[in-house]
């Protein structure tokens, strides 16, 4: 649906050349909620602005439904842009106008008649549950309400793609939650493909089925959200994952550990969540297992369980227990403790 191929972008500034995008490729399929995460300055906004060509690449291609939009003439580009809505961190609404006037604007620009506009605005306001705010000035809305209106306005022309540039970054956690639910509803009920950028892993964890991690203009890791969360490869990805998934053994327990016995981190994915595996190995082998840490995490509607245990007993028995767990599709990683 959206294919970004080998896109490169440099900005020439007074302070020198900024290499904002370095050979970036990304494939977003219809129905995805695709999240791009990275720290400030990573190039996220530059990347998302390539998709509707608010920013032109120096090199590379951007395909929308198979059509390369780089070098398209304005007229053709405008046709494509009608299919792409955009939502911003700072809402980009006209504060001194009413909700209705703000939402009518994209439709007036398309020369739609008054009845059509009125109907469409009512429909959208009902979708974002703000019908009662129709004649209120935007300046009188809360941040969350403003973003709902920003999103509703972006949907005015029935776009098939929605681009969200830090749509929740100006909002508190609870309001963020409700906006994320709204984006999910747009994806599921209207079939809109969403590309969103964020610096919060929580946003990715809640709604994205796929994720790409950006660092200094490059995509350093990408994949299905559950895969990336359960098996992060890059240091930066590990740091992002650690902001939402805790797997550290409490320090009070670490102090008392007899480290001659192995400490193991078990990972359970989705259907494989087997709570009784510990009692099974305790029964079948001559070992004693203690649980040092346990967590159950919901990642884009799927479960990732983490269990850190220590097994005490003879080496042969311990190894048999480990093999038994592996045979039962439990992923096992040895934990090395840092004593510093
Ligand atoms: N129009 C521009 N002119 C010059 N430099 C720019 C321009 N737009 C972006 N940059 C630079 O390109 C780099 C990437 O910027 P970008 O806005 O894409 O980052 P970002 O990941 O969106 O950051 P943030 O999380 O702060 O929004 C930065 O170093 C930025 O200063
Ligand atoms: Mg940005």
Predicted confidence (pLDDT) per residue in 191-210, tens digit: 999 999 999 999 999 999 99
Check residue 197 and give its pLDDT.
Answer: 96
* Closest ligand 1 atom number to CA of residue 214: 21
59 vs 5, 214, 222, CA distance in Å?
A: 9, 18, 21
Percent of the chain with pLDDT over 90: 82
Query: Ligand 1 in contact with 12 (CB < 6 A)?
Result: no
Domain extents in the chain: 2-242, 251-334
Segment 146-192, tens digit of pLDDT: 999 999 999 999 999 999 999 999 999 999 999 999 999 999 999 99
The edge-to-edge listing of strands for the beta sheet with 218-224 is 84-88, 161-165, 193-198, 33-37, 210-215, 218-224
Q: What is the DSSP string of 169-235?
A: TTS-HHHHHHHHHHHHHHHHHH--EEEEEES-HHHHHHH-SEEEEEETTEEEEEEEHHHHHHS--SH
Tell whether pTM > 0.85: yes
18 lines ligand 1 (CB under 6 A): yes
How does the average pLDDT of the chain come out, rounded? 93
Smallest-distance ligand from the CA of 88: 2
Distance 165 CA to ligand 2 centre (A): 7
pLDDT per residue as tens digits for the range 212-239 = 999 999 999 999 999 999 999 999 999 9
**Residue 224: both structure tokens together:** 């299905």
b/e map 74-99, b = 16+ CB within 10 Å: eeeeeebbeebbbbbbebebeeeebb
Check: CATH 3.40.50.300 for 2-242?
A: yes
* pLDDT value at 103 more than 60: yes
CATH architecture designation of domain 251-334: 2-Layer Sandwich (3.30)
pLDDT computed for residue 199 by the predictor: 94
């Amino acid at each position: 649906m959206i294919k970004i191929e080998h896109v490169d972008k440099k900005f020439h500034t007074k302070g020198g050349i900024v290499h904002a995008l370095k050979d970036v490729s990304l494939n977003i399929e219809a129905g995805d909620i695709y999240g791009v995460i990275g720290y400030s300055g990573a190039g996220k906004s530059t990347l998302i602005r390539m998709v509707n060509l608010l920013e032109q690449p120096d090199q590379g291609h951007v395909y929308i439904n198979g059509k390369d939009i780089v070098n398209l003439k304005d007229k053709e580009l405008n046709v494509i842009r009608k299919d792409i809505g955009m939502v911003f961190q700072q809402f980009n609404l006209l504060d001194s106008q009413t909700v209705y006037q703000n939402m009518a604007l994209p439709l007036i620009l398309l020369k739609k008649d008054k009845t059509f506009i009125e109907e469409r605005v009512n429909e959208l306001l009902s979708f974002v549950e703000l019908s009662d705010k129709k004649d209120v000035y935007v300046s009188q809305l809360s941040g969350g309400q403003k973003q709902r209106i920003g999103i509703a306005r972006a949907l005015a022309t029935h776009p098939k793609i929605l681009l969200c540039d830090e749509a929740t970054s100006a909002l508190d956690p609870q309001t963020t939650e409700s906006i994320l639910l709204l984006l999910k509803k747009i994806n599921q009920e209207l079939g809109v493909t969403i590309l969103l950028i964020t610096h919060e892993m929580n946003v990715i964890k809640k709604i994205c089925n796929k994720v790409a991690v950006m660092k200094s203009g490059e995509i350093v890791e990408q994949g299905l959200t559950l895969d990336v969360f359960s098996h992060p490869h890059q240091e930066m990805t590990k740091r992002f994952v650690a902001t939402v998934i805790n797997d550290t053994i409490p320090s009070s327990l670490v102090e008392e550990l007899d480290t001659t016995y192995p400490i193991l981190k078990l990972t359970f994915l989705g259907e494989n969540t087997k709570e009784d595996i510990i009692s099974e190995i305790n029964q079948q082998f001559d070992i004693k297992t203690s649980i040092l840490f346990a967590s159950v995490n919901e990642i884009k509607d799927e479960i990732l369980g983490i269990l850190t245990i220590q097994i005490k007993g003879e080496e042969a028995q311990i190894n048999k227990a480990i093999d038994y767990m592996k045979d039962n599709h439990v992923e096992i990683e040895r934990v090395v403790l840092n004593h510093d």
